[in-house]
Amino acid sequence: MNSPLFSRRDFLKTTALAAAGLPLVGARAAEPERKLGFALCGLGGFSTHALAPAFRETKFCRLAGIITGSPDKAARWKAQYDIADHCIYNYDTMPKLADNPDIDVVYVVTPNALHAESTIKAAKAGKHVLCEKPMEVSVEKCQQMIDACHTAKRLLGIGYRLRFEPNNLECVRLAREKVFGELKLIEAGFGIALKDPSQWRFNRALAGGGPLLDVGVYALQAMRYLSGEEPVAVSAIQTVTDPAKFHDIEESISWQMKFPSGVIANGAASYRFNNLNHYTAYAERGSFGLDAAYGFRGLHGKRSDGKIIQLPDINQFATEMDDFAQCILENRPTRVPGEEGLRDVKIMTAIYEAARTGRTVKV
Amino acid sequence: MNSPLFSRRDFLKTTALAAAGLPLVGARAAEPERKLGFALCGLGGFSTHALAPAFRETKFCRLAGIITGSPDKAARWKAQYDIADHCIYNYDTMPKLADNPDIDVVYVVTPNALHAESTIKAAKAGKHVLCEKPMEVSVEKCQQMIDACHTAKRLLGIGYRLRFEPNNLECVRLAREKVFGELKLIEAGFGIALKDPSQWRFNRALAGGGPLLDVGVYALQAMRYLSGEEPVAVSAIQTVTDPAKFHDIEESISWQMKFPSGVIANGAASYRFNNLNHYTAYAERGSFGLDAAYGFRGLHGKRSDGKIIQLPDINQFATEMDDFAQCILENRPTRVPGEEGLRDVKIMTAIYEAARTGRTVKV
Quote the CA–CA distance of A327 and A333 in Å, as a whole number. 6
pLDDT tens digits for B322-339?
999 999 999 999 999 999
> What residues of chain B, 294 to 333, have a C-beta less than 8 Å from chain A?
304
Banded model confidence at residue B220, pLDDT cuts 50, 70, 90 = very high
- A262/B239 touch (CB, cutoff 8 Å), yes or no: yes
Q: In total, how many domains does chain B have?
A: 2
pLDDT at B11 > cutoff 70? no
A residues 106-165 lying closer than 8 A (beta carbon) to B = none
DSSP codes joined into one string, B220-284: HHHHHHHH-S--SEEEEEEE-S-TTT-SSS-SEEEEEEE-TTS-EEEEEEESS-S--EEEEEEET
Out of B252, B261, B275, closest to residue A264 by CB: B252
* A93 & A183 share domain: no
Q: Pick A184's closest partner by Cβ from B261, B270, B354.
A: B270
Among A35, A121, A127, A133, which one carries the catalytic annotation? A133
pLDDT tens digits, B266-322: 999 999 999 999 999 999 999 999 999 999 999 999 999 999 999 999 999 999 999
Is A320 part of a structural domain of the chain?
A: no
| Within-domain flag for A185 | yes
Give the pLDDT score at A6: 30
Which residues in chain B touch residue A359, judged by CB atoms under 8 angstroms apart? 358-360
Q: How far is A281 from chain B (nearest CA, A)?
A: 10
**Nearest chain B Cα distance for residue A193, angstroms:** 8
Q: Contact at 8 Å (CB) between A135 and A341? A: yes
Q: Which residues of A171-199 are buried (b: 16+ CB within 10 A; e: fewer)?
A: bbebbeeeebebbbbbbbbbbbebeeeee
Closest CA in chain B for residue A356: B360
- In B, minimum Cα distance to A281 occurs at B276
Mean per-residue pLDDT, B227-238: 98
User: Do the domain assignments include residue A331?
Assistant: no
Q: So what's the pLDDT on residue B28? A: 43
Any A CB within 8 A of B173 CB: no
CB-CB: which of A187, A233, A268 is closest to B189? Answer: A187
* CB of A262 closer than 8 Å to CB of A132: no
Task: Looking at the structure, tell me whether residues A131 and A236 fall in a common domain.
Answer: no
If you measure CA to CA, which chain B residue comes closest to A191? B282
Among B189, B241, B262, the residue with its CB nearest the CB of A239 is B262
Interface of B with A in 233-252 (CB under 8 A): 233, 235-241, 251-252
A107 is catalytic: no
Chain-chain contact of A184 with B273 (C-beta, under 8 angstroms): yes
Looking at the fold, whether B204 and B219 belong to one and the same domain comes out as: yes
Q: Decide which of A144, A161, A178 is a domain's last residue.
A: A161
Contacts of A283 in chain B (CB under 8 A): 273
Cβ distance of B189 and A193 shorter than 8 Å: no
Residue numbers of the domain that contains B151: 8-161
Q: What confidence score (pLDDT) does residue A34 get?
A: 77
Do B106 and B189 belong to one domain? no
> pLDDT tens for residues B83-92?
999 999 999 9
Asked if residue B209 and residue B344 are part of one domain, the reply reads yes
Average pLDDT rounded to a whole number, residues B48-68: 98
Report the residue from A257, A276, A359 with minimal CB separation from B359.
Answer: A359
Is the minimum CB–CB distance between A257 and chain B shorter than 8 Å? yes
Domain identity same for B228 and B157? no
Name the band, by pLDDT with cuts 50, 70 and 90, for residue B33. low
In a domain, A14, yes or no: yes
DSSP state of B2: P
Residue A36 lies in a domain: yes
User: Which residue would you say has higher pLDDT here, A319 or B10?
Assistant: A319
Domain boundary among B120, B140, B161: B161
The pLDDT of residue A9 is 37
- Sign, CA dihedral A198-A202-A208-A213, equals positive
Same domain, A148 and A83: yes
Query: Does B195 score more than 60 pLDDT?
Result: yes
B285: chain A residues, CB-CB within 8 Å: 273
Q: Looking at the structure, tell me whether residues B147 and B192 fall in a common domain.
A: no
User: Residue B53 sits in a domain of what CATH number?
Assistant: 3.40.50.720
CA distance A299 to chain B (A): 16
Note whether B139 and B173 are same-domain residues.
Answer: no
Q: Per the residue annotation, which of A89, A107, A160, A218 is the catalytic one?
A: A218
Of B108, B128, B161, which one is at a domain's C-terminal end? Answer: B161
Closest B-chain CA to A256:
B237
pLDDT for res B20: 36
Across the strands, what pairs with A288? A281, A303
Does A276 contact B at CB distance below 8 Å? yes
Over chain A (363 residues), the average pLDDT of each successive run of 10 is 33 36 39 84 98 98 98 98 98 98 98 98 98 98 98 98 98 98 98 95 97 98 98 97 96 98 98 97 98 98 98 98 98 98 98 98 97
pLDDT at residue B21 is higher than 80: no
Residue A324 within any structural domain of the chain: no
Q: Are residues A206 and A233 in the same domain?
A: yes
pLDDT recorded at residue B30 = 52
- Are A351 and A254 part of one and the same domain? yes
Helix (H, G, I), strand (E, B) or coil at B190: strand
Taking one residue from A and the other from B, the number of pairs with CB-CB distance under 8 angstroms is 151
Do A262 and A297 lie in one domain? The reply is: yes
Q: Is the residue at A227 inside a domain?
A: yes
Question: Which residues of B are part of the catalytic machinery?
Answer: 133, 218
What CATH number is associated with residue A241? 3.30.360.10
- Residue A172: inside a domain: yes
